[in-house]
A and B are shown apart, each in its own frame.
Chain A
Amino acid sequence: MEDKEVFAKLTKAIVEGDSEQLVRLVKQAIDKVDPLEMVEKGMAPGMTEIGSKFGEGQVYLPELLMAAEAWEEAMKIIKPKLIETGASMKKQGTVVIGTVQTDIHEIGKNILANLLTTAGFDVHDIGCDAPAAKFLNKAEEVRADIIAASAIMSTTVPYQKDIIDLLESKGLRDNYIVMVGGGVVTQQWADKIGADGYGELASDGVEIARKLVSQKKGA
């Protein structure tokens, strides 16, 4: 099988979220095809395609997550090979993610964390019920590009503003991109508190994060 054919099959398996097929293909090709090319020319285009389909409303969140799961399964085989060959994938950026103080809802935040990891971000999850200082301390520790704060309830949403207020009070606001999301969060709320990015759904977060990091690095 030619490399091109392998890449096309990898792309298809990702788009179909078919972990078993993807793992089978990767195992067959791992000693014959450049592992970095398998990722960049085979799997990554699949993630782009499924992301576009999701954006156009052709597929829904479960399909997007199945593709991400398939990616992660394949990467368990590819990563050691990448290390062995000294190749490295381009890191998209570093994210500190958590659910704000007094809020215990995690599923949306965990889904975004998964998707960001799949997209090549280095993700540090600080869990739920996290005060503003915890976000900042972790962000400083890992030299994060993005602080992503989730809040589900109208009663917990104000704690997203606390994070921005804390950054401003410490003179660190320009050091970080602040993204907000969660059940009752809206673009208007994000604008009102001066957040840099807002995603209606966990899955919107990846594209927004990519765009904002690219703008920051280009600035």
Chain B
Amino acid sequence: MKEDFFVLDTIPLKVRPKDVLKQLGYPDKRSVPPATRKKVDAEIGETQSLIEPEGAYLRLEGVPEKGFQLFSGAEGVILALATIGAAVEHRAGKLVKTERAAKGLIVDAIGTVAVEQTADFVEHKIHRDCDSCGWKVSRRYAPGYCGWEMEAQKEIFSHFPDTLGIKLTSSCLMIPEKSLSFACLLSSEGDFSKVKVGNCKRCKQEECPYRSEPYQSGELGAFDS
């Protein structure tokens, strides 16, 4: 089933203050006090060297049976990992525990921005590679979101043994925490309409903060029972 396995260890990242401030909840730069902006700039400088972005992905023909029911209908799937390593979250945790919570929060936000950028880079590379092979690729989906069960992590990680130093806990969370796993669907025609993942109308997780439209009964979804 496995066709290719790529590791990306040279990922150019630039954590921008405006992205970190957005992650911290500021709606615009006018709402940022000068002291906070100064702290964010200083922490980006301090933290940048701790960020170790890496990614990996592989392409599967067909869709795995276990944990990927919502993906049925796709012709293939790309599985991917992205991480920035553990150093940033260790620094954030240490700062919060030593009564420097503001700095810790800023460092945590820097880590979140960095791992999202890493995943963006991996996803971009996937799209570029697949385009050149004639495949159409969907946006990325991550276990735990859009109605996709966390158990799928086990299937994803079974294809990436000892990759990038990411470990899966018994509850399917990743260590380092600043890691992301995701899947993209493949189609020769670019038609993903039959795939069930990522459709709020089909998801019964009523309290999900990411819900964009109401659940419609009768639609089969991940949380139907």
B39 interface hit (Cβ, 8 Å): yes
> A172 CA to B205 CA in the complex, in Å?
31
A-facing mask of B23-65, CB < 8 A → 1, else 0?
A: 0111000010101100100000000000000000000000000
B185 interface hit (Cβ, 8 Å): no
Q: Are A153 and B24 in contact (CB under 8 A)?
A: no
> A65 CA to B207 CA in the complex, in Å?
29
Q: Which of B123-155 contact A (CB under 8 A)?
A: 144, 150
A186 interface hit (Cβ, 8 Å): yes
| A62, A69, A155, A156: the one within 8 Å of B24 (CB) | A62
A-facing mask of B154-193, CB < 8 A → 1, else 0?
A: 0000000000000001111101010000000000000000
Q: Are B150 and A184 in contact (CB under 8 A)?
A: no
Residues of A within 8 A of B100 (CB): 69
B12 interface hit (Cβ, 8 Å): no
Q: Distance (Å) between the CB of B172 and the closest chain A CB? A: 7
Chain A: interface residue total (CB-CB under 8 A): 33
| A63, A73, A104, A115: the one within 8 Å of B173 (CB) | A104
Q: Distance (Å) between the CB of A102 and the closest chain B CB? A: 3
Closest A residue to B223 using CB positions: A154
> A65 CA to B36 CA in the complex, in Å?
11
Q: Are B99 and A69 in contact (CB under 8 A)?
A: yes
> A73 CA to B102 CA in the complex, in Å?
13
| A68, A156, A183: the one within 8 Å of B101 (CB) | A68
Q: Are A102 and B171 in contact (CB under 8 A)?
A: yes
Q: Are A72 and B144 in contact (CB under 8 A)?
A: no
Task: List the interface of chain A (C-beta within 8 A of B).
Answer: 16-18, 59-63, 65-66, 68-69, 72-73, 102-107, 110-111, 114-115, 153-156, 183-184, 186, 188-189
A-B pairs with lowest CB-CB distance, top 8 = A102-B171, A65-B102, A110-B96, A65-B101, A186-B207, A66-B102, A114-B101, A72-B99
Given A62-B36, A102-B170, 5 new contacts (CB under 8 A): A62-B102, A62-B106, A110-B97, A114-B101, A155-B172
Q: Give 18 CB contacts A-B under 8 Å.
A: A16-B35, A60-B31, A63-B36, A65-B105, A66-B39, A69-B102, A105-B177, A106-B96, A107-B108, A110-B104, A111-B96, A111-B101, A114-B99, A153-B150, A153-B173, A154-B150, A154-B205, A155-B150
